[in-house]
Amino acid sequence: MRHRPRRRRPPARYRRTVTTEAPDRDAESGAGSGTDLSADQITAEQIAAEQLADRMGIEVLETSREQVVGRMPVAGNRQPYGVLHGGANAVLAETLGSMLSAVNVMPDRFPVGIELSCTHHRSATSGWVTGVATPIHIGRSTSTTEIVITDEQGRRVCTARLTCLHRDNRPRVS
């Protein structure tokens, strides 16, 4: 039998503690475990509170169990060559796909993204891009969503697929 070297544990300053217990609910802000939020509250409270979606200018237009529709401006989300950054498409896709999973599985479960793939078909240089997330599979432990992002002329800019794991409790990072 071959001896395998032990992996060294990183110093404490590089470790982060993650627990799966539900934190106490803050009555005023609506923050906490998220176990009793409706689809409207997910849209209004959680997206507004999340800094990345706000920073990217993402607006959620429609939320239902069948689809989530949102849009994002190209301005402010460009790469140095003047076209919409591929990472911005990924942020829009994961935002909409995660929301669709949340609408379908919360309050019993909490979705976390485990895989995202994006295929970029064409570039967008101005205006807004619109994403439509539709479920491919909604199960007890996972969900898979297709997100189609189009430009203002209705041309497909990106096709993404997001898979989410449904956890029993919201992870808490301390």
Residues with a catalytic annotation lie at: 94
CA distance 154 to 130: 9
Cβ(103)–Cβ(68) below 8 Å: yes
- HSE-up (13 A, CA, CB side) for residue 84: 26
CA distance 74 to 56: 9
Q: How far is CA 75 from CA 23, 33, 70, 88, 121, in A?
A: 37, 34, 16, 11, 19
CA distance 6 to 25: 41
